[in-house]
Amino acid sequence: MELDSDKDMVWLALQVTQHRFLVNFYPGTSIKPRTYQIVVQFMPLMFRPDRDVKLCELEEVNGIDQGDIFQARWFKPITSWAPSQVCGHTIFSLFPPPGHKQNLGTWPLHLPQEDLCQKM
């Protein structure tokens, strides 16, 4: 299904609207949110993408609205890391606000000072 405007997208994003909308479809039907992926390089391995606290901290430091980072995960599996590795690449899934036209590939992501990865 396609929506014609940002206004329609905002309307359908409301939980009450989604529930009323989905009860008329096949059981188990869901609405998948649209997210945008960005790769963040040189993330320190102490970063825990599975912890909401760390994602909230990143949102706060970067001036991103709370909840706009949907999820984060490591680019490579942890089992593939080298023993001496200190940094890795992560993939962030973001919820940009409706009508947002900025090129997501140019967003600088700043880490809290204690989490910076020092390259030697």
pLDDT digits (tens, 9 = 90+) for 84-97: 999 899 998 888 65
Element (H, E) at 88: strand 87-94
Quote the pLDDT of residue 119.
Answer: 47
**Whole-angstrom distance, CA of residue 51 vs CA of residue 82:** 23
- Ranges assigned E (strand) in 30-68: 36-44
The answer to whether 112 and 60 are in contact (CB under 8 A) is no
Task: Quick: pLDDT tens for 43-75.
Answer: 888 888 888 888 888 888 877 788 888 889 999
CA distance 87 to 44: 4
What 8-state DSSP symbol labels residue 27?
A: T
Q: Report yes or no: 90 and 75 within 8 Å, Cβ to Cβ.
A: yes
Residue 83 is predicted with a pLDDT of 92
Name the more confident of 40 and 109: 40
Identify the band that residue 120 occupies on the pLDDT scale cut at 50, 70 and 90.
very low
Tokens of 110: 């700043």
